[in-house]
């Protein structure tokens, strides 16, 4: 943008990024004053299955933003999803207007736990699930430790709860399918300290300041923000 001569300071075109600013006063882009950054905001959204986590889809499938038009209050700033949920995966999706926070929450090094519930069909034991605490390698991909527990079973159908920190692409499905299980439903119930609770599908709410600040402080202590 500086090379394109779009940025000015006190009416003078900036020619180098090596410019120290003590404030945003007098800074313009395309002759429009740069506003102060908005305060960090964080939303909890219950993503339904059948939506992709993207702004648009080349094939025309509906996206989360289709549902967010009605779920977020009027005047909400542009928000970005923290990580992704697959097309057929539902549950808790965090949304924020802060790019730095988004990156911090997505980093595997943050160690932030994500919890899922999976409805599966097939044969598996609690002992097999407990082995996942040591991690597992599948087709050359190494997955870190997963705390997995059988919730309930009816015949060959069972609900399994899994807590992990990496969140690699399709990790939960790949691990369960590795055991020969068919996953008929996958729901994320928690991301860090935030819970899905009984939030209806397609609905969202904004976390209050006192619900965000302790978490932000923790991330800052870890050097992630």
**Catalytic sites, residue numbers:** 86
Contact 86, 170 (CB under 8 A): yes
Q: In terms of C-beta density within 10 A (0-12 exposed, 13-18 middle, 19 or more buried), how is residue 85 classed?
A: buried
DSSP code per residue over 23-64? SSTTEEETTEEPPPPPPP-EEEEEEPTT-BSSS--TT---BH
- Write out the two tokens for 220: 């800052």
**Torsion of the alpha carbons at 176, 180, 185 and 189, rounded to the nearest 10:** -20
Q: Which helix (H) or strand (E) holds 81?
A: strand 80-81
Contact 53, 95 (CB under 8 A): no
Q: What b/e string do you get for 173-192 counting C-beta neighbours within 10 Å, with b at 16 or more?
A: bbbbeebebebeebbbebbb
Q: In terms of C-beta density within 10 A (0-12 exposed, 13-18 middle, 19 or more buried), how is residue 69 classed?
A: exposed
Close Cβ partners of 14 (under 8 Å, ≥ 6 residues apart) = 2, 7, 8
CA pair distance 58, 49, nearest whole angstrom: 18
């Amino acid at each position: 943008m500086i090379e394109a001569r779009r940025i000015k300071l006190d009416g003078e075109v900036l020619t180098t990024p090596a410019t120290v600013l003590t404030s945003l006063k007098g800074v313009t882009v395309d002759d429009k004053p740069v506003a102060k950054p908005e305060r960090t905001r964080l939303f909890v959204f219950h993503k339904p299955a059948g939506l992709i986590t993207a702004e648009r889809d080349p094939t025309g499938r509906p996206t989360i933003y289709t549902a967010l038009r009605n779920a977020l209050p009027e005047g909400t700033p542009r928000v970005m999803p923290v990580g992704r949920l697959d097309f057929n995966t539902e549950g808790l999706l965090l949304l924020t207007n802060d790019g730095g926070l988004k990156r911090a929450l997505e980093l595997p090094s943050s160690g932030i736990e994500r919890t899922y519930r999976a409805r599966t069909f097939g044969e598996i034991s609690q002992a097999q699930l407990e082995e996942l605490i040591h991690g597992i390698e599948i087709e050359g991909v190494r997955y870190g430790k997963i705390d997995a527990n059988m919730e309930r079973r009816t015949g060959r159908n069972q609900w399994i709860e899994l807590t992990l920190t990496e969140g690699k692409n399709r990790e939960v499905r790949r691990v369960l399918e590795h055991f020969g299980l068919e996953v008929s439903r996958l729901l994320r119930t928690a991301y860090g300290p935030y819970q899905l609770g009984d939030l209806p599908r397609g609905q969202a709410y904004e976390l209050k300041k006192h619900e965000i600040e302790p978490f932000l402080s923790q991330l800052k202590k870890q050097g992630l923000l």
